Amino acid sequence: MATALIILAAGMGTRMNSDLPKVLHEIAGAPMLVHALKAGAALEPARTVVVAGHGSDMVEKAAKAYDPDVMIALQSEQLGTAHAVAQARDALAGFDGDALMLYGDTPFIRPETLAAMTAARLTHDIVVLGFEAADPGRYGRLIMRGDQLDRIVEFKDASDQERAVTLCNSGVIVADCATLLDLVAAVGNENAAGEYYLTDIIGIARARGLSATVVRCDEVETLGVNSRAELSRAEALFQQNARAVAQEDGVTMTAPETVFFAHDTVIGRDTVIEPNVVFGPGVTVESGATIRAFSHLEGCHVARGGVIGPYARLRPGAELAEDVKIGNFVEIKNAQIAEGAKVNHLSYIGDATIGARSNIGAGTITCNYDGVFKHHTTIGQDTFIGSNTMLVAPVSVGDDAMTGSGSVVTKDVPAGALAVGRARQENKAGFATRLFEKLKARKAKGS
Ligand code: UD1
Ligand code: CA
């Protein structure tokens, strides 16, 4: 059956104390909203509707950056989760099938869990995802009658007896779309918060003779993020899981608790990651590479056998071919480095192409920026760039060429040539000895 995905993301997120809409706060380098969209994508939804309100422009931009086909429904006043779902009505016009609702602040639902909910829908009108909470806190409580879900009561409205229930509402609900919109329209706001609670649809549905059930999942999956403290807990859980997955995939980590992955990091088999490595978004490392301690990588690709760091920084557009070596205190940005090339010490390589087996000496800098424009540096294969060479882009160095240490290279260097661009050295015989004597004498006199 076709499924529509509705993600509620209009809330203020008051407890975040932030100018940024809550759902745009990031976990592992991606907004919570993107995690929710990724989770929902497992259903291959026929339509995806994000209900946005607070900071809707920003929310829309983030949603469309992930998937341009996402539809945005505006909830200009945040009157509650049922009211939010009602705003998706126009976007769902003409849709025939099930609707699954996710909250944008509940980022970790697994595809298997959504599949279990779809399966349970075959025998029940409404399926709610619940979890046994170690500390049920402010979650809504699921009140069962036998194997039927009877109603959901919000924490604020719950009696002491109801608060003692540990089976909690995750916020994920699936039902026939038309039925859902009908139920939502019947929700009122006579409750402690004065809000239209989505959770009230269960009581209403049961009164209409519809059936409702609960699919249970692990608490980790349903973690709702409402505060900065919960955001950091969600981040920690993500990392814990990502490290376990990497280990299962054959990655060695000396101190896994100090390695941080992004939502989309891909690491190949038999790669070794030393302590204190951070992966930003968009990193692919092939098999058999070594990422040494204290390195930071984002938006880059490290091919088989690469050795990065310690203390290296790979920025977006760093494309490293097989067996490339990037050493300590080296920054690479938007540069293609061909197989076997080495940039081992204290260098900045930006907007550049480096040919195979070239050796880039310590302290080399591609001067890529003139204050207004960025320019490209092209270095051929088998070159030897002397230490402390300044390559003033746009400039090129041909195959098998060399540059002298300390050169400022402003003109193209032909293949096979040696470029020396520095002041000629002059030695003044005895000068240092005489100067030392004069200075020491002055010091002895105390002046
Ligand atoms: C909600 C549930 C609660 C559940 C918990 C799970 C309701 C009434 N309560 O509580 O049972 O245990 O989630 O995490 O649904 N939103 C809108 N428009 C609104 C209000 C909220 O789009 O008018 C969005 C928010 O952006 C958020 C989501 O809905 O992504 C949930 O809202 P939130 O206020 O965080 O609900 P909780 O109090 O956490
Ligand atoms: Ca919440």
Query: Which tokens hold the place of 268?
Result: 């190949």
Helix axes of 32-41 and 111-120: crossing angle, nearest 10 degrees: 50
For residue 292, how far is its CA from the centre of ligand 1 (angstroms)?
A: 42
Q: Is 359 helix (H, G, I), strand (E, B) or coil?
A: strand
Q: Which pLDDT score, from 0 to 100, does residue 447 have?
A: 67
Give the residue, by CA position, lying nearest to ligand 1 atom 1. 171
**pLDDT level of residue 1 (50, 70, 90 thresholds):** confident
Q: Stretch 421-431: mean pLDDT, rounded? A: 97
Cα–Cα dist 336/350, whole Å = 9
pLDDT of 168 over the 70 cut:
yes
Query: Which tokens hold the place of 173?
Result: 């609900």
Closest ligand 1 atom, CA of 197?
A: 8
Report yes or no: 141 and 74 within 8 Å, Cβ to Cβ: no
298 lines ligand 1 (CB under 6 A): no
Q: Which pLDDT score, from 0 to 100, does residue 157 have?
A: 97
11 lines ligand 1 (CB under 6 A): yes
106 lines ligand 1 (CB under 6 A): yes
For residue 197, how far is its CA from the centre of ligand 1 (angstroms)?
A: 8
Nearest listed ligand to the Cα of residue 9: 1
For residue 80, how far is its CA from the centre of ligand 1 (angstroms)?
A: 7
pLDDT of 235 over the 80 cut:
yes
Closest ligand 1 atom, CA of 11?
A: 26
Closest ligand 1 atom, CA of 170?
A: 6
Q: Which of 37, 58, 102, 105 to mutate to test the pocket of ligand 1 (most atoms within 8 A of CB)?
A: 105
Give the residue, by CA position, lying nearest to ligand 1 atom 37. 139
Task: Give yes or no: 25 in active site.
Answer: no
Residue range 52-106, pLDDT digits in tens: 999 999 999 999 999 999 999 999 999 999 999 999 999 999 999 999 999 999 9
Residue 25: closest CA among 169, 217, 224: 224
108 lines ligand 1 (CB under 6 A): no
Cα–Cα dist 143/153, whole Å = 7
Query: Which tokens hold the place of 73?
Result: 């429904």
Q: Is 134 helix (H, G, I), strand (E, B) or coil?
A: coil
DSSP bridge partners of 6? 49, 101
For 150-175, give the DSSP string: EEEE-GGG--HHHHT--EEEEEEEEE
Q: Which pLDDT score, from 0 to 100, does residue 79 have?
A: 96
Give the Å distances, CA to CA, from 155 to 108, 131, 136, 433: 22, 15, 9, 85
Q: Which pLDDT score, from 0 to 100, does residue 27 have?
A: 98
For a pLDDT cut of 90, what percent of the chain falls above it? 98
Residue range 377-401, pLDDT digits in tens: 999 999 999 999 999 999 999 999 9
For residue 16, how far is its CA from the centre of ligand 1 (angstroms)?
A: 14
Closest ligand 1 atom, CA of 9?
A: 26
For residue 435, how far is its CA from the centre of ligand 2 (angstroms)?
A: 75
Report yes or no: 118 and 3 within 8 Å, Cβ to Cβ: yes
200 lines ligand 1 (CB under 6 A): no
Backbone angles phi, psi at 367, to 5 degrees: -85, 90
pLDDT of 36 over the 90 cut:
yes
Backbone angles phi, psi at 430, to 5 degrees: 70, -5
Cα–Cα dist 264/261, whole Å = 8
Question: What angle is formed at CA 77 by the lines to CA 76 and CA 83, rounded to 5 degrees?
Answer: 100
Residue 91: closest CA among 49, 45, 140, 134: 49
Q: Which pLDDT score, from 0 to 100, does residue 375 have?
A: 98
83 lines ligand 1 (CB under 6 A): yes
Tell the residue number behind the tokens 């069962």, with chain if given.
Answer: 144
**Four-CA torsion 126, 129, 131, 135, nearest 10 degrees:** -100
Question: What angle is formed at CA 263 by the lines to CA 292 and CA 120, rounded to 5 degrees?
Answer: 140
Residue 200: closest CA among 48, 114, 212: 212
Nearest listed ligand to the Cα of residue 76: 1
For residue 85, how far is its CA from the centre of ligand 2 (angstroms)?
A: 15
Residue range 336-378, pLDDT digits in tens: 999 999 999 999 999 999 999 999 999 999 999 999 999 999 9
User: CB neighbours of 371 closer than 8 A, spacing ≥ 6?
Assistant: none
Choosing from 54, 345, 375, 376, the catalytic residue is 345
Q: Which of 6, 54, 79, 81 to mutate to test the pocket of ligand 1 (most atoms within 8 A of CB)?
A: 81
Closest ligand 1 atom, CA of 106?
A: 14
Residue range 112-132, pLDDT digits in tens: 999 999 999 999 999 999 999
Nearest listed ligand to the Cα of residue 78: 1
